Chains A and B, each alone.
Chain A
Amino acid sequence: MLSPGALLCVSTCLMLAMGCEESKSDIPRARSESGSQTESLPSGEHGDLEDVNSTGQTDSASLQPGALRLTPEQISNLLTDAFGVQMVHTDEAGYVYDEIVDEYGVSLGGIDFVVAARRDPSVKASTLLVVHAISWSVSESILWADLDRAPADRKLFTLCNPEEDYPLVDVDFAEDERADLEASDARWRLQLDEIYWRVFSRAPSEEEVQVLSALFSDAAREVDWPGRGWQVLIYTLISTVEFWTI
Chain B
Amino acid sequence: MASADLHPHLDRGVLDHMTTRIAQGVTRRELIQRGLQLGGGAMALSVLGAPWHRAKAQEIACHHRTGRFLEIVFDGGWDSALATDPVVGSKQTSAAYQSEYLNLGHQTVPGKDNLVVGPGLVPAIQAFQSLPTAFVNGLLVEVTAHELAFAYLLSGRLSLSRSREYPTAGAVLGAAAGCFPAHVVIGAPVPLGETKQTAPPLHATSYESLRSMLVGPLAGDEPLDAESLGKTQSAIARLNTLHMAKQGRSAKAILTPWTRAEDALDDFYGRGYAEQFVLNEELSARYGLADSWDPLSVLPAALMVLKSGLSPYVTVTIDGFDTHADHLGNHVPLMTGAAAGLASLVADMQNTPDPNDSGKSLAETTTILITSEFVRTPLFNVAAGTDHWPVGAAIVMGRGVADNVVVGATGDDAYALGWSNDRPVERNARTALTPEQMVATVLEMVGLDGDPLMAFGEGRLNGIRA
Contacts and interface: CB of A to CB of B under 8 A. Distances in A.
Interface of A: 25, 39-42, 44-46, 48-49, 51-58, 64-67, 102-104, 106-107, 112-115, 120, 122-130, 132-133, 135-137, 140, 205, 207-208, 211-212, 214-215, 218-219, 222, 228, 232, 235-237, 239-242, 244-245
Contact of A215 (B32, B232, B268): B232
Nearest to A121: B254
Contact of B202 (A41, A129, A219): A129
Given A51-B29, A107-B204, A137-B212, A241 B259 contact: yes
Given A25-B249, A126-B200, A137-B220, 12 more contacts: A56-B252, A67-B254, A102-B205, A114-B162, A114-B165, A120-B196, A129-B213, A130-B213, A228-B222, A236-B235, A241-B240, A242-B239
9 contacts: A40-B254, A45-B27, A45-B163, A126-B202, A126-B213, A128-B262, A129-B213, A137-B220, A219-B228
Interface string B34-51: 000000000001101111
A85 to B, nearest CB: 16
Interface string B246-282: 0111111111111101101100100000000000000
Contacts of B249: 25
Interface stretch (B100-108, B184-192, B294-302, B408-416): B184-192
Contacts of B52: 124-125, 128
A132 B235 contact: no
A215 to B, nearest CB: 4
Contacts of A218: 228, 231
Nearest to B191: A113
A228 B164 CA distance: 49
B254 A129 contact: no
Interface residues of B, number: 76
Contact of A45 (B25, B201, B240, B264): B25
B203 interface: yes
B418 interface: no
Given A112-B196, A128-B265, A122 B228 contact: no
Nearest to B163: A45
B212 A133 contact: yes
Given A107-B204, A240-B239, A235 B217 contact: yes
B196 A54 contact: no
B254 A39 contact: yes
B200 A106 contact: no
B209 A104 contact: yes
A58 to B, nearest CB: 5
Contact of A65 (B26, B235, B250, B261): B250
Nearest to B215: A133
Contacts of B204: 107
Nearest to B54: A125
B322 to A, nearest CB: 16
Q: Which of A58, A65, A113, A235 has the most CB of B within 10 A?
A: A113
A136 B192 contact: no
A95 to B, nearest CB: 13
Given A48-B27, A137-B212, A215-B231, A113 B242 contact: no
Contact of A56 (B25, B28, B250, B262): B250
A126 B181 contact: yes
A214 B228 CA distance: 12
B214 interface: yes
B147 A51 contact: no
A123 B258 contact: yes
A127 B376 CA distance: 37
Nearest to B239: A240
Contacts, number: 202
Contact of B49 (A55, A114, A129, A215): A55
A110 to B, nearest CB: 10
B165 A113 contact: yes
A70 to B, nearest CB: 13
B51 A125 contact: yes
A123 B209 contact: no
A103 B181 CA distance: 19
Contacts of A125: 51-52, 55, 180-181, 261, 264, 268
A208 to B, nearest CB: 6
Contacts of B244: 241
Contacts of A219: 228, 231-232
A41 B240 contact: no
Contact of A236 (B46, B232, B252): B232
A211 B239 CA distance: 8
A75 B247 CA distance: 21
B209 A133 contact: yes
A222 B228 contact: yes
Contacts of B447: none
Contact of B197 (A56, A122, A241): A122
A65 B251 contact: yes
B232 A235 contact: yes
Nearest to A219: B228
B49 A66 contact: no
Contacts of A120: 196-197
A241 to B, nearest CB: 5
A113 B147 contact: yes
Interface string B161-174: 01111000000000
A236 B197 contact: no
Contacts of B215: 133
Contacts of A235: 217, 232
A47 to B, nearest CB: 9
B224 interface: yes
Which 10 pairs across A and B sit closest by C-beta, in order of nearness?
A: A56-B253, A125-B52, A54-B49, A44-B27, A133-B212, A39-B254, A132-B216, A129-B213, A54-B45, A67-B251
A7 B375 CA distance: 76
B261 A112 contact: no
B455 to A, nearest CB: 15
Q: Which of A102, A112, A136 has the most CB of B within 10 A?
A: A136
Nearest to B221: A140
B236 interface: yes
Contacts of A245: 255, 258
Nearest to B192: A113
Given A44-B28, A112-B189, A136-B216, A67 B147 contact: no
Contacts of B239: 208, 211-212, 236-237, 240, 242
